[in-house]
Chains A and B, each alone.
Chain A
Amino acid sequence: MEQLKRLEALTAAIPSDQVEDVREDIVGELFKKSRELCSDAVTVTNRELLYRSERLDRIFTSKLWGFPIMLAMLGVIFYLTIAGANVPSSMLASFFGWVEGYLTLAFQAIHAPDWLHGVLILGLFRGTAWVVSVMLPPMAIFFPAFALLENYGYLPRVAFNLDRLFKKTGAHGKQSLTMAMGFGCNAAAIMSTRIIESPRERMLAILTNNFVPCNGRWPTLILLASLFMAAGFSGGAQTFVTASVVMGMVLIGVVVTLTVSWGLSKTALKGVPSHYTLELPPYRKPKILNTILRSTLDKTIYVLRRAIIVAAPAGVLTWILANIYVGDSSILIHFVSFLDPFARALGLDGFILMAFIIGLPANEIVLPILLMGYLATGSLTEVEDMFALKQIFLDQGWTWLTALNMMLFSLLHYPCGTTLVNIWKETKSAKWTFLSFAIPTAIAIGVTFLVAQAARALGWV
Chain B
Amino acid sequence: MDETKHRQHLHQAAIGERFLIEQVDIRGEHKRRLLDLGFVPGSVIEVLKASPLGDPTSYRVAGTVIALRKEESQLIWGKVISS
Contacts and interface: CB of A to CB of B under 8 A. Distances in A.
A27 B36 contact: yes
Interface in B15-66: 24, 26-27, 29-38, 40-43, 48-49, 51-56, 58, 60, 62-66
Contact of A164 (B48, B53, B64, B72): B53
B37 A160 contact: no
Contact of B55 (A20, A163, A277): A163
Contact of A32 (B34, B42, B53, B64): B42
A160 B35 contact: no
Nearest to B58: A280
A66 B49 CA distance: 12
B68 interface: yes
Interface in A158-202: 160-165, 167, 173
A277 B49 contact: no
B52 A63 contact: yes
A23 interface: yes
Contacts of A20: 27, 31
A275 interface: yes
Interface in A57-108: 57-58, 61-64, 66-67
Contacts of A313: none
Contact of B42 (A28, A53, A67): A28
Contact of B49 (A23, A27, A61, A164): A61
Interface in A1-58: 20, 23-24, 27-28, 31-32, 34, 38, 53-54, 57-58
Nearest to B71: A273
B13 interface: no
Contacts of B53: 161-165
Contacts, number: 100
A279 B66 contact: yes
Contacts of B40: 24, 27-28, 31
A51 to B, nearest CB: 9
A278 interface: yes
A163 B69 contact: yes
Nearest to B62: A31
Contacts of B30: 274-275
A278 B52 contact: no
Contact of B52 (A61, A275, A282): A61
A184 B41 CA distance: 42
A277 B48 contact: no
Interface of A: 20, 23-24, 27-28, 31-32, 34, 38, 53-54, 57-58, 61-64, 66-67, 160-165, 167, 173, 273-282
Given A54-B48, A277-B34, 8 more contacts: A24-B31, A28-B41, A161-B51, A163-B51, A277-B33, A277-B66, A280-B67, A281-B65
